[in-house]
A = this chain, B = another copy of it.
């Protein structure tokens, strides 16, 4: 199948890739307290009501609401205080008519009480009596049993990224362990005779390897575990050996080779050897990033990214990030998307999807997306951008002032 280069639209490429990529989510059980930003791998239902007992939301007196009806400052309701609710336990007290019990915020409502009067709306007469200055309705200042969550309620579905409040919500129910997706291992193989490690001095003609590290960071951001294979010499045997090792050890393989035609041909050739069906797409109708390779080899997705770092990062988010999210079973994208208005006309060529870097500026409470100029293969174009917008295929461009979706970096 090698040596062809039929440019495909991202949509067609995605469809073809999806037909051959069948991600399996690997799971592990971990303490809920350690599960921040992990992807939940199971649907969870509540084992109990929350709260399990009716609780006061204020400091005051637990009462039978009917005893306060008609009460006012001029004509207060007079109630006998028969005790106090201890924190962390239930009271053995049971309210009779005309009786009240001192209760604190979070305290369990005693038997016979139907509401709580705030302490500010009472007046203490003596140790055993209060005046209530305002009526309360039944249930006022009380959280009822199961008002937060009922036993059996669906709490969260699989695929959810866990946030601080989600961890709190699970621990509140005693769910101290959860099944989450294991981060897929993503191999990064760099190649190119002009590429040297970043800690080495360069001689004219050489550039530093930035793709290994910026791609590793993108892999972490997406929820994967990067494995770097270093810079492999641009010879068939060396590159094939490195790619076979990566294909054997990782769940996803990313090859960042040189950008020239000969490198691309070599990449296609080597990927074909890793397994069937092999290369599915060679060439995407996007800018930047046309020389992209999508492959599935014996069930493992293999991506050949363009060599220039800006194209590599744009294409990574377009094709590799979704594959990582699929391995995690994640229901939400890895990046936040916001709406903004485009700050100037952006033209686009026919037959191509354009990805334009933008800076976000606030103007009169509205967010504006300001295109960041500079050739697309300059890394500082990306450094100076807050996000990226997509100019759809065959749209001809987008007009100034139009609302666009910005995927934040």
Seen from chain A, the residues whose Cβ lies within 8 Å of a Cβ on chain B are 32-33, 36, 50-53, 57, 59, 86-90, 104-108, 119, 143, 147-149, 155-156, 163-169, 171-174, 176, 192-196, 198-199, 201-211, 213-218, 220-221, 234, 258-262, 307-309, 313, 336, 338-340, 365-367, 374-375, 377-380, 382-383, 385, 403, 405, 408-409
Contact = CB atoms under 8 A, between A and B. Distances in A.
Contacts of A86: 193, 205
A205 B385 CA distance: 53
Contacts of A339: 338-340, 365-367
Given A33-B213, A87-B234, A339-B365, A165 B379 contact: yes
A214 B167 contact: yes
Contacts of A57: 308, 375, 377
Nearest to A214: B168
Nearest to A201: B174
A53 B204 contact: yes
A211 B90 CA distance: 22
Given A147-B378, A339-B338, A172 B52 contact: no
B375 A88 contact: no
Contacts of A163: 217, 409
Contacts of A171: 198, 208-210, 213-214
A382 B338 contact: no
Contacts of A205: 53, 86-90, 107-108
B87 A193 contact: yes
A59 B378 CA distance: 18
Nearest to A53: B204
Contacts of A313: 164-165, 168
A36 B213 CA distance: 10
Contacts of A217: 36, 163-164, 167-168
Contacts of A88: 192-196, 205-206
Given A176-B198, A202-B174, A382 B105 contact: no
A202 B52 contact: yes
